[in-house]
Amino acid sequence: MSKISFGTDGWRAVMCEDFIFSNVRIVSQAICNYVKAKEDPKKGLVIGYDTRFFSDKFALAAATVCAANGIPVYLTIEDAPTPVVAFSVKDKKTAGAIMFTASHNPSIYNGMKFIPRYAGPAMPDITGVIEQEISRITEKDINIMPAGEAEKQKLITRFDPSAPYIKQVSSIINLNAIKKGKLKIILDPLYATGRKYLKSILAQVCDAQMIHGETDPYFGGLNPEPIGVNLVPLTEAVKGKAHLGLATDGDADRFGVVDFDGTYINANQVLSLLLVHLIKNYKWKGPVARTVATTHLLDRIAKANDMEVFEYPVGFKYIGEAIREKGCIMGGEESGGFSIKGHIPEKDGILAVSLIAEMRAIEGKSLGVLYNDIMKKYGPAYSQRVDIHAPDELKKKVFTELEKNPWESVAGKKVEKTEKIDGVKFILEDGSWILMRPSGTEPIVRVYTESSSPEEMAKISQEGVSLFSVQEVKA
What integer is the mean pLDDT of 400-426?
94
Q: Where are the domains of the chain?
A: 11-160, 165-378, 382-474
Q: How confident is residue 327, by pLDDT bands cut at 50, 70 and 90?
A: very high
Find the DSSP H helices in 326-422: 349-363, 367-378, 392-404
Q: How confident is residue 6, by pLDDT bands cut at 50, 70 and 90?
A: confident
pTM, two decimals, is: 0.94
| Cβ partners under 8 Å of residue 163, min gap 6 | none
Give the CATH fold of the 165-378 domain: Alpha-D-Glucose-1,6-Bisphosphate; Chain A, domain 3 (3.40.120)
pLDDT at 139: 83
What integer is the mean pLDDT of 245-256?
98
Cα separation, 29 vs 35, in Å, equals 10
pLDDT at 184 over 90: yes
What integer is the mean pLDDT of 178-200?
97
* pLDDT > 90: percent of the chain: 90
pLDDT at 475: 45
- In angstroms, the first-to-last Cα distance of the chain is 33
What integer is the mean pLDDT of 152-171?
98
User: Average pLDDT over the chain, rounded to whole?
Assistant: 95
CATH of domain 11-160: 3.40.120.10
What integer is the mean pLDDT of 175-181?
97
Same topology, domains 11-160 and 165-378? Answer is: yes
| The CATH number of domain 382-474 is 3.30.310.50 | yes
Convert 147-182 to b/e letters by CB count within 10 Å (16 or more is b): beebbeeebbeeeebbeebbebbbeebbbebbeebe
* pLDDT > 70: percent of the chain: 97
DSSP string of 23-49, one letter each residue: HHHHHHHHHHHHHHHHS-GGG-EEEEE
CB 95 within 8 A of CB 37: no
pLDDT at 470: 52
Q: How confident is residue 178, by pLDDT bands cut at 50, 70 and 90?
A: very high
Measure Cα distances from 442 to 73, 203, 264, 386, 407 in Å. Answer: 31, 35, 24, 14, 26
Cα separation, 352 vs 334, in Å, equals 13
